[in-house]
Amino acid sequence: MKPLVRSVLALACSLWLGSALADALLIDVRSPEEYAQRHLPGATLLPLDRIGSEIQQLAPDKDTPIQLYCRTGNRSAMALQQLQQLGYRQISNLGSLEQAAETLKLTPQP
């Protein structure tokens, strides 16, 4: 593949990914207490123990892009598995609050 074609494809992929990230549902799967201390702007609180029973209300479309984060990335990994089992297809685990903030270029807020 020619370098120019490769660059154009890389740019197109980056723009598409950026668009998908911007339209995604951002979910914090930590506890209400953790969320109250600090969370990302635009994040919806949906603790891990409720995600399976309440996700349908937030995202009835199983193709909704969903991004998950928690304190360390463990709970968001478990939430990702639950959502996959429920048939959701576009899920990403952003890891910890700090990793998610860095990836999304957001500043956590109280």
Residues serving a catalytic function are: 70
Spatial separation of the C-alpha atoms in residues 28 and 12, rounded to whole Å: 29
The neighbouring-strand residues paired with 96 are: 70
Q: Which helix (H) or strand (E) holds 2?
A: none
